[in-house]
Amino acid sequence: MAKRFMPTIVRNPEPSEGPRVDLRSPGFRILVVEDETLIRDILVRKLKGLGYECDSCENGLAALNLLPASAYDLILTDLMMPELGGLSLLRETQKFCPDTAVILVTSVSDLNIAIDALTHGAYDYILKPFSLQEVSVVVARALEKRRLLLENRRYQQHLEEEVASRTKQFREALELLQQTYHSTLLALGTALDSRDADSDGHALRVTLYTLRLARQVGASEADLKTIEQGALLHDIGKIGVPDDLLRKPEKLSESEWQLMRLHPEIGYRILSRISFLQDAAKMVLNHQEKYDGTGYPAGLRGNEVVLSARIFAVADTLDCMTTDRPFQRAVTFELAREEIIRVAGTQLDPAIVGKFLEIPLDEWKTIAQEVKAKAKAHRQVS
Ligand SMILES: [Fe+2]
């Protein structure tokens, strides 16, 4: 087949304009695809002379056979060839070797095809007749462009990996922080219990009861966190109540009761200064209020009492009735449930009591047993 154009050997020794490019770039692998033997040999000799590793073949089909085994940095291919032309080779290369740069060698009559190929991923084109100097510049420029693209991609990947790694570290740190907060609150709740002679395990038990009931009411995960904090720390204000009053075996006098009734407000003042406990602080402030307005400190009624505190009130009633107290022996869960039904609408929110009744008594008993077992294990360790 007669060749359409012949190369002009070093027609233009020094390019008059364009970016300064290092024409000697040893180490890169180039594949020359050209059906005209003479042109192919001239190109290969020139590129090898510039320090490139260079293979060659006579058409696109032969090139496809070479691609899987050889990682070429660049393919310099004629556009019109028998078997498989340059455009098809470009498409296949992009599919299987997307990091290989492709330069098309074309005649003026195929120029529009070559320009169109640029929009489909070709790095550049060389118009016949060409000078070998021109080929050197275009090849070096394409390899530099490819290097920058790969570097940029590596940088992006590195950046993404870095962001993913930092995000993971941040999540882990946050999780650790939350676990630490949780352990601290649990320890504080247990410490508060130990001051109160008659409330062994009360803070943990009433917290688990409250959480179970809150789930039944449909509380969100965020609300459950607040509810857990508030329940664990509901009596933190008792820090402000003297020990002898807290542990007094006899009934409290009216003045002593007045002192005792300050504990929700003291608790609120302590917790409201801690940003992540501000919602829990409102629950603590309301935890001794009653549905009919007969509670303290503010005598709030109905929905004026925050929902978390109304849920807590049912759980607290259950726990107080089913554990031994100085002036009251523990009753069965069955009897406690009867009493809760009786005070629905007066001391307790009837809607919350309705939710409480949906939960089988065995679940409450299981929670109580688990807390008892935990407390026993804890005593054995300490
Ligand atoms: Fe209390």
Give the ranges where the chain is alpha helix by DSSP (H). Answer: 37-49, 60-66, 86-96, 111-119, 132-195, 202-217, 221-232, 243-246, 254-260, 263-271, 278-286, 307-322, 333-342, 350-358, 361-381
What digits encode the pLDDT tens for the residues 301-332?
A: 999 999 999 999 999 999 999 998 877 889 99
Q: Ligand 1 centroid vs 351 CA: distance in angstroms? A: 22
pLDDT band at 382 (very low <50, low <70, confident <90, very high): low
Return the higher-pLDDT residue of 205 and 188: 205
First to last CA, the chain: 96
Distance between Cα 235 and ligand 1 center (Å)? 5
379 CA to middle of ligand 1, Å?
25
Q: What's the CA-to-centroid distance between 345 and ligand 1, angstroms?
A: 20
CA of 263 to the centre of ligand 1 (A): 7
- Sorted by where each starts, the structural domains of the chain and their CATH numbers stand as 29-159 (3.40.50.2300), 196-381 (1.10.3210.10)
What's the gap in Å between 110 CA and the centre of ligand 1?
A: 89
Residue 231 has pLDDT above 80, yes or no: yes
The whole-number pLDDT of residue 214 equals: 98
Q: Ligand 1 centroid vs 261 CA: distance in angstroms? A: 8
Q: How far is the CA of 270 from the centre of ligand 1 (A)?
A: 14
Convert the pLDDT of each residue in 52-104 to its tens digit.
999 999 999 999 988 877 789 999 999 988 888 898 999 999 888 888 999 99
Distance 264 CA to ligand 1 centre (A): 7
Q: For residues 91 and 67, is the Cβ–Cβ distance under 8 A?
A: no
